[in-house]
Amino acid sequence: MIRNNKLGFGMMRLPVTNPSDAASVDFAQLEEMADLFIASGFTYFDSAYIYHGGMSDVAIKKTLIERYDRDAFTLANKMPTFMVSAASDFDRYFSEQAERTGADYFDYYLLHDLDENNYANMRRHGGFEYVRKLKEQGRAKCIGFSFHDKAEVLDKILTEHPEMEYVQLQINYVDWESPAIESRKCYETAVKHGKPVIVMEPLKGGALVNIPAEAEKILKAARPSLSAASWGIRFAASLPGVIMVLSGMSTLGQVKNNVSIMKEFQALTEPEKEVIEQVREIIAAATAVPCTDCRYCADSCPQSIPIPDYFSLYNSHRLFGFNPIIHNYYRNLTLEYGKASDCVTCGQCAERCPQHIEIPEELVEVAKTFE
């Protein structure tokens, strides 16, 4: 499938001329970034219908289609599943993408952001049939989907749709054991089904670039010449079955750093994996709520609130700042379970908590953050 080095250029954090206007893509700077990326031996560019208000696709046209032979780069794009309300929407959105990008075909085409709700929507309107048709027509060379939900939902999708050729997952060393995001469990599910994995958010939206000072010190002691970002990218790229690691790059400096890491990629050694674990523990110690995911609280909750999952998301928000993907995970959970604000302060959860967390009080903060 992937024909080259496994670093992908994520087109969701492009340089802009106006920081308050995501659509104001700085094409001059982006051309310089793309040129360096391709000259360094990398070809994979990942866009989506909604990125930069649609200007991500336009950037593909101006930066790549109009300046390079088509076989000089690899294009990935995505159907906005969350915007589809009728079967006719598929043709409309795909036609817009083709016109915006000027591409006759996409090398990789994904159903964007599948979770339990969006999966049901695709089943309802024929999303899987549509992307299969695109492949038959040669307009999509490889078909798959990006995913944001629990491993059991991923297992269901891959069981019911084995024709999907790959899956794009959020994987980084902080979310690896997260009970809300389940990076490891989702990765293992994809491997179980024999599906190659494309990694998104290897740096958790840039959060793993600026880590706590104590953690940074450990990384520098292990490999003084490597940046904090390089550890996050290498963690994801070292996983067997990972064929591509996407990085949303905003500056030429970020491109230079990432290609230097991946041009002659070296997988993590066993001692380096231990270093990563130390860093993960430091970040965990800095979390706002010391939940261990024993789930005693959730088992006793009369409102069916998935308390440990909400605390995991809340900790990520407190540690790394606002990230729309984290808020999206919260929304997905509330479709099936009680919201944090549904808490009736019965106190059963706090009584059962081995960590003596004042859970109802913390849920108030969770609700303020996500609702």
- Residue 287: is its pLDDT beyond 80? no
- Say what the pLDDT of residue 9 is: 98
pLDDT at 285: 76
Is the pLDDT at 338 greater than 90? The verdict is: yes
| CA count, 13 A, side-chain hemisphere, 268 | 22
65 and 131, same structural domain? yes
Whether 347 shows a pLDDT value over 50: the answer reads: yes
Q: In the prediction, which pLDDT does 325 show?
A: 87
The verdict on 78 and 45 lying in the same domain is yes
Give me the mean pLDDT over the 8-23 stretch: 90
Is residue 133 within 8 A of residue 79, CB to CB? The reply is no
- Return the structure tokens found at 270: 């066993």
Q: What is the pTM of this model?
A: 0.84
**Domain end among 222, 250, 277:** 277
- The β-bridge relationship of strands 106-114 and 74-79 is parallel
Residues 145 and 230 in one domain: yes
Phi-psi sector, 226: left (phi>0), alpha (psi -120 to 50), beta: beta
Last residue of a domain, one of 225, 244, 277: 277
pLDDT score of 2: 47
Q: How many helices (H) and strands (E) does the chain have?
A: 16, 8
Whether residue 283 lies inside any domain: the answer is: no
Cα 371 to Cα 1, 164, 331, 339, 340: the distances in Å are 41, 34, 9, 9, 8
Mean pLDDT on 165-184:
92
Looking at the structure, tell me whether residues 272 and 302 fall in a common domain: no
* Residue 288 included in any domain: no
Are residues 148 and 250 both part of a single domain? Answer: yes
Looking at 277, 305, 338, the residue that finishes a domain is 277
pLDDT tens digits along 82-94: 999 999 999 999 9
pLDDT score, position 3:
44
Whether residues 237 and 267 share a domain: the answer is yes
Residue 94: give the domain boundaries.
7-277
Instruction: Look at residue 351 and tell me whether its pLDDT is greater than 90.
Output: no
Q: Over pLDDT 70: what percentage of the chain?
A: 99
Residue 63's pLDDT is 98
Domain identity same for 210 and 320? no
State whether 309 and 243 are in the same domain: no
CATH no. for residue 199?
Answer: 3.20.20.100
Whether residue 156 sits in one domain with residue 53:
yes
- Pair (191, 271) in one structural domain: yes
- Decide if 284 is inside a domain: no
Residue 6's pLDDT band (boundaries 50, 70, 90)? very high
pLDDT at 283 over 90: no
Classify residue 222: in a domain, yes or no. Answer: yes
146 burial (CB, 10 Å; 0-12 / 13-18 / 19+) is buried
Cα 51 to Cα 12: distance, rounded to the nearest angstrom: 5
Identify which of 244, 160, 128 has the alpha carbon closest to the alpha carbon of residue 196.
244
pLDDT in tens, 230-265: 999 999 999 999 999 999 999 999 999 999 999 888
The pLDDT score that the predictor gives to residue 5 is 82
- Give the mean pLDDT of 191-208: 92
Chain CA centroid to CA 91, Å: 26
pLDDT over 60 at 13, yes or no: yes
d(CA 144, CA 124): 18
Number of domains forming the structure of the chain: 2
When the pLDDT of each residue in the chain is averaged and rounded to a whole number, the result is 93
- Summarize the confidence of residues 315-336 as an average pLDDT: 87
Question: What average pLDDT does this structure show over 298-310?
Answer: 92
Query: Which phi-psi region, left, alpha or beta, contains residue 126 (left: φ > 0; alpha: ψ -120 to 50)?
Result: left
Residue 67 lies in a domain: yes
pLDDT above 90 as % of the chain: 78
- Which residue's entry shows tokens 């050694």? 269
Tokens 């740096």 locate to 203
Report whether 1 contacts 142 (CB < 8 A): yes
Closest CA relative to residue 343, chosen from 361, 326, 327: 361
Position 26 confidence tier, pLDDT thresholds 50, 70, 90: very high
DSSP classification of residue 3: -
- Rounded Cα distance, 241 and 33, in Å: 28
Q: Does residue 14 sit in the same domain as residue 151?
A: yes
Q: Determine, yes or no, domain membership for 23.
A: yes
**Is residue 2 domain-resident?**
no
Is 286 within the bounds of a domain? no
> What mean pLDDT is predicted for residues 48-56?
93
What is the mean pLDDT of the segment spanning 95-105? 98
Same domain, residue pair 326 and 234: no
For residue range 69-85, list pLDDT tens digits in order: 999 999 999 999 999 99
- Tell whether the model's pLDDT for residue 205 goes beyond 80: no
Above 50 in pLDDT, residue 126? Answer: yes
